[in-house]
Amino acid sequence: MASQEMEQLVRREYKEGFVTDIESDTVPPGLDESTIAFISNKKGEPEWMLEWRLKAYHQWLKMTPPSWAHLDYPPIDYQAISYYSAPKRDEDKPQSLDEVDPKLLETYEKLGIPLHERAALAGVAVDAVFDSVSVTTTFKEKLHEAGVIFCSISEAIRDYPELIKQYLGSVVPQGDNYFAALNSAVFTDGSFVFVPEGVTCPMELSTYFRINAENTGQFERTLIICESRAQVSYLEGCTAPMRDENQLHAAVVELVALEDAYIKYSTVQNWYPGDEDGKGGIYNFVTKRGDCRGDRSRISWTQVETGSAITWKYPSCVLRGKDSIGEFYSVAVTNGRQQADTGTKMIHIGEGTRSSIISKGISAGRSNQSYRGLVKVGPRAKGARNFTQCDSLLIGDQCGAHTFPYQEIGNSTATVEHEATTSKIGEDQLFYCQSRGISEEDAVSMIVNGFCKDVFQELPMEFAVEAEALLNVTLEGAVG
């Protein structure tokens, strides 16, 4: 490709970069007990929840940010962040789309996510989180009929305190790590899903997160519980407007699967990665963990990571139940000066537990990407089985791809395999395509898509289409 053209493509501005002008109800930056009390009060939370948050806060104060990741970023000033921001009219929430602030709908239009259309056509209930307060929830009735609870976590704390008390923090405890502790103290919203015994959720659940007000960290908390023989597929997708200052995002996702339950959690993440010097992108420090508590339960993580300046994310599975299954499928694409340190942990505790990890990393430009994973087999995990494959594709000579797989095996009946390769797109592959009249760029896109196929086919239909498009957009111009 001509280098000019390349330049052009590489310099292309972030498509989703724009700011919607909605008045925010924001607290001044800074974090102390009063901020937490303010958030808790604003959310109308009971006393025990405030105590829970404060306990997390006190643990957080004693912790230091992790430094082991292969990431390079200036220290974050946690006192410069505003911990609460909500669209102004949260007292009288819109009950239907007509009541939704037209400016908000406009935002979704620009994003290419026409809420009503998508919801109706795809049969997806959308619990749209605009900054911190959920604005609208659709298909609630249909879900209600099935007995599925799908609401914002704030509503759940008010309406289902027993479930929250039982499950919140049971997978990711308050003091689990620095960012989880911070999230536990200040989380402002997120989703709550409860699928009762024997119910298969009638539709795919989806939440679109969106970061908006300037300087506001986004701290979501998601909790999904599947009782015995219940099933749910949950989709999470993100876009964000262009910013100059780094925005911190520290979410926590907890999944609980009881006997024979199946949770599928898919993510497409396309936050603002920063400009060509790496300035202004999102810092994404996420703790995601699933607990296969019941026998034969199954948790599957699928993620497509294309955005953020910094990604620190290790969706994990604790395989406690006998014969439970954990899966992790990931495509991570980094370009420009993006940095990603991502991977998974599979903790085999129960007998006959199985896990598979497929990780595909593509680094281009001057980005750096690491796969960091842990497979641990405990002494009681008889016959545990793991297969790990992590492949990296390098595009350009200024990027880096790294692999740090940890394996701790304490059982002689376990079988654990790990394979990793690192290479660039083969000249012969490119030549083969080009000799058949396929342009270089199309050929690269084809090869890259083929490279990621194992993961894309795990995504729900509409996500798979989006992911492929996203991949092409992210990498366009990176190859020459």
Partner 1 sequence: MNDAVQSDVQRFLDRLSEHRAGRGAEPTWIAARRQAGAARFEALGFPHRRVEAWKYTDVRAIARGDFALATEAEFSPATAARLTLPMEAHRLTFVDGVFAPALSRLDDLPAGAQLVPLSAALAENHEAVGGPLGRLTGVEFSSFAALNTAFMEEGAVLRLAPGTVVEKPIILQFLSRAGEQAVMSHPRILIEAGGRSEATVIEHHVGEEQAANFTNLVEEIILDRGAILTHYKLQEAPLADLHVASIHIEQARDSRYTSFNLNLGGGLVRNDLVAELNGQGAEANFNGLFYGQGRQHVDNHTLVNHNAPRTFSNENYKGILDDRAHGVFNGKVIVKRDSQQIEGFQSNANLLLSDRAEIDTKPELEIYADDVKCSHGSTTGQLDEEAVFALRTRGIDEQTARGLLTLAFAGEVLEQVDLDAIAERVELAVAGKLPERFNLAGLVETAAALNEE
The stretch among 129-137, 213-221, 230-238, 394-402 that binds partner 1 (CB under 8 A) is 394-402
Q: Which is nearer to partner 1, 256 or 346 (CB)?
A: 346
- Which member of 8, 41, 95, 415 binds partner 1 (CB under 8 A)? 415
**CA gap 79, 61 in Å, rounded:** 12
Smallest distance from partner 1 to CB 299, Å: 23
Neighbours of 142 (CB within 10 A): 13
Is residue 407 at the binding interface for partner 1, with CB under 8 A as the rule? yes
Cβ contacts of 291 within 8 Å, gap of 6 or more = 170, 171, 254, 255, 256, 257, 299, 317, 318, 320
Reading phi first (left if > 0) and then psi (alpha if -120 to 50, else beta), residue 382 is in beta
CA-closest candidate to residue 269, choices 259, 258, 283, 280: 283
Interacting span for partner 1 (CB under 8 A) from 110-118, 281-289, 406-414, 460-468: 406-414
Neighbours of 461 (CB within 10 A): 9
Nearer to partner 1, 55 or 382 (CB): 382
E strand residue ranges, 200-342:
205-210, 221-226, 231-239, 247-249, 252-257, 262-270, 282-292, 298-305, 310-313, 316-319, 325-334, 339-342
Biggest CA–CA distance in the chain, Å, is 69
**Options 419, 434, 439, 469; binder of partner 1; rule CB under 8 A:** 419
| Closer residue to partner 1 in complex, CB, 161/396 | 396
DSSP 8-state symbol, 82 = B
Strands 85-87 and 24-26, bridge-based pairing: antiparallel
Question: Is 394 near partner 1 (CB under 8 A)?
Answer: yes
Among 379, 432, 450, 469, contact with partner 1 (rule: CB under 8 A): 379
Helix (H) or strand (E) holding 5: helix 3-11
- The 66-95 site mask, x for binding partner 1 (CB under 8 A), equals --x-x-------------------------
Choose among 238, 124, 202: nearest CA to 466.
Answer: 238
Number of residues that bind partner 1 (CB under 8 A): 35
Decide whether 48 or 406 has the Cβ nearer to partner 1. 406
Contact predicate 280/244, CB 8 Å? yes
Given candidates 27, 76, 242, 409, which one binds partner 1 under the rule CB under 8 A?
A: 409
**Single residue of 41, 413, 434, 457 touching partner 1 by CB under 8 A:** 413
417 binds partner 1 (CB under 8 A): yes
**Does residue 418 bind partner 1 (CB under 8 A)?**
yes
Nearer to partner 1, 413 or 439 (CB): 413
Query: Measured from the CB of residue 405, what is the shortest distance to partner 1 in angstroms?
Result: 6
Q: Minimum Å distance from CB 240 to partner 1? A: 29
Helices (H) and strands (E) in the chain, counts: 13, 24
Cα–Cα nearest to 81, from 189, 216, 195, 199: 216
- State which of residues 104, 211, 416, 447 lies at the interface with partner 1 (CB under 8 A): 416
Contacting residue, 81, 133, 401, 464, with partner 1 by CB under 8 A: 401
Q: Which is nearer to partner 1, 145 or 397 (CB)?
A: 397
Nearer to partner 1, 81 or 333 (CB): 333
If the CB atoms of residues 200 and 422 are measured against partner 1, the closer one turns out to be 422
421 near partner 1, judged by CB under 8 A:
yes
Minimal distance, residue 175 CB to partner 1, in Å: 17
List Cα–Cα distances, 2 to 8, 14, 139, 309, in angstroms.
Answer: 10, 22, 50, 27
Alpha helices, H only, 96-216: 102-111, 115-122, 140-146, 153-159, 161-167, 178-186
How far apart are the C-alpha atoms of 128 and 115, rounded to whole Å? 9
- At 210, the amino acid letter reads R
Stretch that binds partner 1, among 122-130, 210-218, 254-262, 405-413 (CB under 8 A): 405-413
- Share in percent of the chain as helix, strand, coil (round to 5): 25, 35, 40
The region that residue 198 occupies, defined by phi over 0 for left and psi between -120 and 50 for alpha, beta otherwise, is left
400 binds partner 1 per the rule CB under 8 A:
yes
Query: Measured from the CB of residue 60, what is the shortest distance to partner 1 in angstroms?
Result: 20
Q: Determine, following the binding rule CB under 8 A, whether residue 408 of this chain makes contact with partner 1.
A: yes
Interactions with partner 1, residue window 422-451 (CB under 8 A): 422-424
**Shortest reach from residue 387's CB to partner 1, in Å:** 10
Which residue stretch of 73-81, 151-159, 387-395, 456-464 sits at the interface with partner 1 (rule: CB under 8 A)? 387-395
- Contact residues toward partner 1 (CB under 8 A) are 68, 70, 379, 392, 394-424
